[in-house]
Amino acid sequence: MRTTVMRTALATALAVLATTLAACGSDGEIKSPDLVKGAHAGGKLTIGISFDEPGVGFKDGDTYRGFDVDTATYVAKALGVAAKDITWVRADPEDRARLLESGEADLIVATYSITDQRKQEVSFAGPYFVAHQDLLIRRNDTDITGPETLNDRTLCSVTGTTSSDYVRAHYKGHITLKEYPRYSQCVSALLAGKVDAVTTDDLILAGYAAESRYKGKLKVVGKGFTDERYGIGVKKGDQQLVDQVDEALKQYVDDGSWEAALKRSVGDSGYDIPGPPTPGTA
């Protein structure tokens, strides 16, 4: 009798240990979500992302990686779409609303800041991240500590972004604004000494600072001066899809996958991982 009790106790202890180890092993992993209400396995999606934002949305040959890619993949799985059934399309800032309106993309997950103006054109789920506009500068530059130290200097950003709009509204006449279609062009201009700083959301800048080819050459100033609430763009008026994406994003935050995706994407940059926003409040 005693032997049986001891064996039962040992088996219970081993089961608890196995469960604990399994839980420890899952920390920091992006998990598989449950299907959201109304979703069925076996679908397909076309998702617009950035192709040239390291750590956020980046195309490397036939591979796509970054925080937005991980976010989009998780949401797609919750909608019943396997990773292999996602078609990725390039969504540059000036093309995002058009891609949704034309049906060329079902979702846009491309550092798409939620604004009242944009809500006139598209519907948003989220937010899934709150970024802050910041500055990327050369590693050895100690003179630039914020936008107020950019008088008579040249600042680079991307056409059609809230970052460019903010600079025009607040620093017109004090800062020379240079605009390119893509952030990678701004970063190249910064390294070549053609501009003094690049401005956009801190998450995007952290991705560039963490990229192996730029490591040790660039740094983020780290003094954010706006709030940029990232949403997932949906065709205007599709409330059912908005609700489903919001449900998926809530799982993404609650099961730890959100934090794991951020650490995997930009953790090496030294970027201070913030707390998550509340999806469903776009």
Q: What are phi and psi of 47, to 5 degrees?
A: -125, 130
pLDDT of 160 reads 85
CA-nearest of 152, 148, 153 to 138 is 153
Which helix (DSSP H) or strand (DSSP E) does residue 154 occupy?
strand 154-158
> pLDDT of 131-140, one tens digit each?
999 999 999 9
The predicted-structure confidence for 144-186, as pLDDT tens digits, reads as follows 999 999 999 999 999 888 898 898 899 888 899 999 998 999 9
Question: Considering the entire predicted model, what is its pTM?
Answer: 0.83
**Which domains can be identified in the chain, with CATH numbers?**
45-131+229-269 (3.40.190.10), 133-220 (3.40.190.10)
Task: Using the CB atoms, write b or e for 171-180: b if 16+ within 10 Å.
Answer: beeebebbbb
